[in-house]
């Protein structure tokens, strides 16, 4: 199937022409699938444009940046055409803060900012964090406040304001769509369990002042591994947490585990990053790799990835400690592997194997809503502990939704 698309203004529309298809019931059904609260699409119209060409017109509520790409057949799915819409102009961040709504990747990229004094005394952080999480920090570094009910810091008279953005945590629900992941003996699918826990984790994070979460997927659909990493980097994520449910050929395997990126995985990822011209002009760890000296570029990237792995191990240790309170641990220490979703060179990233879905007892718990809440809260508490010990600095440049 060949396709082409283009945008039309006044009013805003996205036009998609499909060649070699007929207007069948499945194509007609997309008209009724547009909800009134859809952030971008007002309505959809389907009609024959010319012989052998069907035109689909998306009437938009605002200008968008579309991404259209085909997917080859997989499993029970035939050829598909994926349409992603991102806002051309992100919503006003202050308005988004006052009236929270969905978190499309581009929309939340412009983070709302809070003012903090340019310097903080050594004891200021202890007054902001809860007593059990209080840790010493260097003076002069603005940090994100983690205690509920405290939304502002004392501002000395005459002090120049300095901005600090909210901590953005990207939550990746493993698998999805035609990729169901592992299957339990009672038919439980990993993709369903991971999405349920991811949604609960997002809800818990969003309740915490100074923190917000973004889901790589919020439904049962397929997302490539590289796209998950790209979404995290697009919003300049502070942390990336991928949620999975382990499986093994023998049903007695059990326990939770946490993975960070391995050194070998980092080496192979670095080679691909440096070979990609688009990535070379990107900001990685706050460093522009668009330099003429390839040795210098590799050195800068190695430094960024080394820091990423070190921070990921700290984050993983904090999360693993909390998981041990609600489930037995498969391994007592953070493991390392070359998982593709962990390879963002500038975002501390962990992969959480919540439990073995192949174990009948753990499969039963993973399906239970109360246990999913416990799992999400354990991951959240680990994230919170990590942030208390490693407070993120204010960025000089906010995330862009492009």
Give per-residue pLDDT as tens, 321-364.
999 999 999 888 999 888 888 888 788 999 999 999 999 999 99
Task: Name which of 350, 352, 358, 354 is nearest 328 in CA terms.
Answer: 354
Count of the separate structural domains present in the chain: 2
What per-residue string of b and e applies to 186-220 under the rule 16 or more CB within 10 Å gives b? eebbbbbbbbbbbbbbbebbeebbbbbbbbbbbee
Phi, psi (deg, nearest 5) at residue 68: -120, 130
User: 213-228 pLDDT, tens per residue?
Assistant: 999 999 998 888 888 8
In this structure, what CATH number is given to the domain that contains residue 321?
3.40.630.40
Using CA atoms, how far apart are residues 123 and 115, in angstroms rounded to an integer? 19
Q: Is residue 255 part of a domain?
A: yes
Structural domain contains residue 196:
yes
395 domain-assigned: no
Same domain, 242 and 381: yes
Q: What is the CATH number of the domain that holds 82?
A: 2.60.40.3500
Q: Are residues 173 and 81 in the same domain?
A: no
Does 178 lie in the same domain as 75?
no
8 A C-beta contact, residue 21 and residue 14: no
Lowest mean pLDDT: which of 5-19, 132-146, 266-280, 335-349? 132-146
Structure tokens at 168: 């953005």
Within a domain: 94: no
| 198 located within any domain | yes
Q: Would you say residue 311 lies in a domain? A: yes
Residues 82 and 179 reside in one and the same domain: no
- Regarding whether 177 and 82 lie in a shared domain, the answer is no
Which whole number is the average pLDDT over 183-207?
Answer: 94
Answer yes or no: do 232 and 371 share one domain.
yes
Q: Based on the domain organization, do 82 and 209 belong to the same domain?
A: no
- Are residues 53 and 195 both part of a single domain? no
Rounded mean pLDDT of 181-205? 94
Assess whether 47 and 192 both reside in one domain: no
For the stretch 138-181, pLDDT in tens is 333 334 444 444 444 444 544 444 445 689 999 999 999 888 88
Please tell me whether residue 283 adopts helix, strand or coil conformation: strand
Domain membership flag for residue 106: no
**Same-domain check for residues 232 and 379:** yes
For residues 62-86, give the mean pLDDT.
75
Q: Is residue 122 part of a domain?
A: no
- The secondary structure of residue 161, as a DSSP letter, is P
How many helices (H) and strands (E) in the chain?
A: 10, 16
Same domain, residue pair 283 and 175: yes
Question: What angle separates helix 369-389 from helix 190-206, to the nearest 10 degrees?
Answer: 50
Q: What domain range is 310 assigned to? A: 167-389
Shared domain for 216 and 75, answered yes or no, is no
What's the helix, strand, coil split of the chain in %, to 5? 30, 25, 40
From 58, 87, 116, the end of a domain falls on 87
How many other C-beta atoms lie within 10 A of the C-beta of residue 174? 28
Diameter of the chain measured on Cα atoms: 73
Of 55, 87, 119, which residue constitutes the final position of a domain? 87
pLDDT of residue 146: 45
Give the residue from 87, 103, 127 where a domain finishes.
87
**Poorest-confidence range of 49-53, 72-76, 186-190, 205-209?**
72-76
């Amino acid at each position: 199937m060949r396709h082409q698309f283009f945008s039309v203004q006044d009013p805003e529309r996205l036009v998609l022409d499909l060649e070699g298809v007929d207007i069948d019931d499945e194509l007609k059904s997309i008209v009724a699938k547009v909800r009134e609260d859809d952030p971008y699409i007002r309505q959809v119209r389907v009609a024959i444009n010319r012989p052998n060409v069907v035109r689909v017109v998306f009437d938009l509520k605002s200008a968008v940046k579309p991404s259209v790409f085909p997917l080859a057949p997989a499993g029970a799915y035939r050829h598909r055409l994926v349409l992603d819409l991102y806002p051309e102009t992100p919503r006003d961040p202050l308005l988004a803060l006052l009236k929270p709504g969905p978190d499309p990747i581009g929309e939340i990229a412009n983070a709302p900012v809070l003012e903090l004094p340019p310097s903080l005394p050594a004891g200021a952080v202890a007054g902001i964090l809860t007593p059990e999480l209080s840790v010493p920090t260097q003076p002069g570094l603005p940090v994100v406040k983690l205690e509920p009910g405290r939304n502002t810091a004392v501002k000395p008279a005459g002090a120049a304001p300095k901005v600090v953005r909210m901590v953005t945590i990207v939550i990746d629900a493993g698998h999805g769509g035609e990729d169901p992941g592992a299957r339990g003996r009672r038919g439980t699918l990993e993709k369903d369990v991971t999405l349920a826990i991811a949604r609960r984790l997002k809800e818990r994070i969003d309740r915490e002042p100074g923190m917000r979460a973004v889901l790589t997927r919020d439904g049962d659909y397929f997302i490539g591994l590289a796209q998950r990493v790209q979404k995290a980097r697009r919003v300049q994520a502070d942390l990336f947490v991928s949620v999975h449910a382990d499986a093994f050929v023998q049903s007695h395997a059990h326990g939770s585990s946490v993975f960070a990126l391995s050194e070998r995985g980092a080496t192979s990822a670095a080679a691909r990053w440096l070979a990609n011209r688009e990535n070379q002009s990107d900001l990685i760890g706050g460093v522009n790799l668009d330099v003429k000296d390839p040795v210098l570029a590799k050195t800068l990237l190695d430094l960024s990835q080394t820091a990423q792995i070190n921070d990921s191990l700290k984050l993983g240790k904090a999360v693993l400690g909390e998981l041990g309170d609600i489930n037995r641990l498969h391994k007592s220490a953070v493991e390392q592997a070359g998982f593709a979703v962990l390879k963002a060179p500038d975002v501390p990233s962990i992969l959480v194997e919540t439990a073995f879905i192949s174990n009948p007892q753990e499969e039963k718990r993973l399906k239970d809503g109360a246990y999913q809440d416990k799992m999400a809260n354990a991951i959240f508490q680990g994230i919170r502990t990590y942030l208390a010990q490693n407070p993120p600095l204010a960025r000089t440049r906010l995330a862009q939704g492009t």
